[in-house]
Structure 1
Amino acid sequence: MKPFPPPPHRAALHPVLQWGILLAASVLLSAGFSAAGFPAALLLGPMLAGIGLGVAGATVRVPKLPFLGAQALIGCLVAHAVNASIVRTLLADGWLMLAVVLVTVAASAAVGLVLTRIRLLPGTTAAWGSSPGAASAMVAMAEEFGADPRLVAFMQYLRVACVALSASVVARLCVGGTPAPVAAPVGETGLLAVAGTLAVAVVGAWLGRVLRIPAGAMIGPLVIGAALHATDLASMSLPAWMLALAYAGIGWTVGLRFTRATVRATVSALPGVLAATLGLIALCGAWAWGLTFILPIDLLTAFLATSPGGLDSVAIIAVGSGADVSFVLAVQTLRLLVVILTGPLVAKWIARSAG
């Protein structure tokens, strides 16, 4: 008897139609989150819409240049809220910030070691995927050391999505039930002011990339913009529609990485990976709660500061929820640098220990 023929391959929808569906779903979800009072509704809506379409088989992706542009605009947004106090914060509480970072890195290493030893994922994939941040760098380096880059990317961006969702829920509970504005303009949005801000974004992103700074497209404009803003030489100014595009660019980039192929490849390991991710977030949350008894900071600020990854999305939520942006960005930036420096060493140590 002849075997049944394979099911016919369904052709993907035209890219224009895919973008239209993605945009419509993003608007509806963003409006719902905004009505419910969630900070960063314009980040969560596109991210969840992107996850849904990515898993459904969408082929569209956010091109690299627009994504870098979105990061640069977020850097300018944060620069408007950050001033010289971030330096004072680092000098005053630098040792405690380092302790926060080391706890997060140690917890992530423990999760990676457990996942590797129980063989939930093949080879050193779990070790690289559990690194708490620098997702794109970890994915790039993982392939060089024999790990499956698809599974590493899935673990990394699953954590980023969970961090964004959990941080937004915590912010919603801490801020209260006031509906969040869809997007509020930053500074005086005159033509010259906006043009100056865009110049900072372009130059800062270019320098960040040329100097190979981690998350340079965001950190470059943030540093330059914060310096200009703190010294009253310039003020970061962004209209609401531009911020909405930047939020959507970040959300779509994260969401569309959840493809049907990666979900199918990790379906057996998904419960364990999700449990490990939520466990790591809970551990960092407990550490954040403890910090409120040591430092004069609120729970939301501590939770955002200790969140294991997603610098751009955490920055958006911090600015939109009224948290102490200086403290959050200081800890998150320090964590990013530590992960970049120690990530490969920790991953190789986990692989040897589990082998």
Structure 2
Amino acid sequence: MSAASTKPARRGIPGRAFFTALCLGAGGGYLFFRLHVPLAFMLGAMLATTIAALSRLPVGIPPALRSWMVAVLGIMLGSAFRPSLLSHIGEWGYSLAGLGLYIVICASAGLFYLKKAAGYDRVTAYFSAMPGGFNEMVMMGGAMGGDDRTIALGHSLRVMLVVLTIPFAFQALPGYDPAGRDWSLRGLGPGLLDLPWQDYAMMALCAAGAPLAKRLRVPAGMLVGPMLLSAALHLAGMMSGKPPGLLVAAAQVVIGASIGARFASVPLVQIARTLLVAIGLTILLLSVTLVMATLLHLLTGLPLPGLILAYAPGGLAEMSLVALSLHADVAFVATHHIVRIMLIVLLAPPAFHLWRRWAERRGAPPSR
């Protein structure tokens, strides 16, 4: 079956499903916000719509709306690239170089686990084990004969588990001070009327980078395009503002609700079975993340919280929002996730062909 089964139908989202998802997402986000939960709007929206989807209520978020909310996030991320950042980029060399080793370890460990413990076929296990590149892995895995529905569901559940785990686990790290945070919308960004019209004009210009990057087939183009334009304008001193807090909260609600709505049309039995597999894989990948982050922290002196977020096997948009919520170095985290996705998208297909030839020469059955 198609991977589209784990996402909103391509023919469009019914108005009732959209309205339900939006109301539940906003309500769940606001509740978590009032409870001072980290990443409140995204987590609240994600949990509310997930429960609704599993209860077989009609929920759905139009892909176009999610894409443009991701573009808003890209503009926000670009605002973290200040001129003072240029003097520190050289310090990221070892951590960026370590991403290649991280991908190899995660993919190898995940592949072994999914084949031996979960019984996945060779193609499905390979593209499910990749720590990133959701859309690309689903499309490539399906094209090469894998179960694209299982790949999509596995990646969705992994992202959800990582997003649910990290904000709460961070509270155990030294230096995390929830009492010292701004628990208001202004903690997410300025007020709607606080920005001059010039900044709004620049943000509209940055948003134009989304369709351009998508046309150029840039991985995660709806986020990367606006982020690169926003970063360039901020580094050049031509722009100093960032999206209003209300708009950032709305982006969190839409992105969170879209994660939960992916489970609306999936049989509960399949969700339960894949969830058990995803929990094991997530624990495995997060363990590798923690070890790599700790080693790099000892080697480079870079902050451990930022390294954990930079290496965490969650989605680019989702982990960038986590970094924003936890007041980590957003530019550092986003840059590492973009590089990781590009490495996976560029190297995973040729590596798969080489691995398949090697396995066939050893006499392994084609489907295993």
CA offset digits 1:34-75 (Å, max 9, x no partner): 344433211111122222222222444222221110111001
The CA distance in 2 between the partners of 1:181 and 1:96, in whole Å, is 31
Number of the residue aligned with 1:147? 146
The CA distance in 1 between the partners of 2:301 and 2:87, in whole Å, is 15
Match of 2:189 among 169, 186, 190: 186
Match of 1:309 among 284, 308, 314: 314
Q: Is 2:205 the counterpart of 1:199? A: yes
The CA distance in 1 between the partners of 2:354 and 2:261, in whole Å, is 31
The CA distance in 1 between the partners of 2:107 and 2:182, in whole Å, is 33
The CA distance in 2 between the partners of 1:51 and 1:105, in whole Å, is 32
Number of the residue aligned with 1:25? 24
CA offset digits 1:299-350 (Å, max 9, x no partner): 2111101101311111112122221223222221111111111222344456
Match of 2:250 among 220, 241, 245: 245
How many positions carry a matched residue from both structures?
341
The CA distance in 2 between the partners of 1:180 and 1:258, in whole Å, is 33
- Give the TM-score normalised by structure 1: 0.86
Match of 1:334 among 313, 330, 339: 339
8 A contact 1:83–1:326 mirrored in 2: no
8 A contact 1:151–1:266 mirrored in 2: no
8 A contact 2:59–2:264 mirrored in 1: no
8 A contact 2:157–2:275 mirrored in 1: no
The CA distance in 2 between the partners of 1:351 and 1:32, in whole Å, is 49
Would the alpha carbon gap of residues 331 and 224 (structure 1) be closer, same or farther in structure 2, given more than 3 Å must change? Answer: same
8 A contact 1:81–1:319 mirrored in 2: no
The CA distance in 2 between the partners of 1:183 and 1:104, in whole Å, is 36
Counterpart of 1:286, as a letter, is V
Number of the residue aligned with 1:110? 109
Number of the residue aligned with 1:177? 178
Q: How does 1:85-234 map to 2 (within 5 A)?
A: 89-118=88-117, 120-174=119-173, 175-178=176-179, 181-184=183-186, 186=189, 188-201=194-207, 203-234=208-239
Counterpart of 2:263, as a letter, is F
Q: Which runs of 5+ in 1 are unaligned?
A: 1-13
Counterpart of 1:83, as a letter, is R
The CA distance in 1 between the partners of 2:305 and 2:338, in whole Å, is 17
8 A contact 2:107–2:131 mirrored in 1: yes
Q: Larger deviation: 76-85 or 131-140?
A: 76-85
8 A contact 2:27–2:45 mirrored in 1: no
Counterpart of 2:178, as a letter, is G
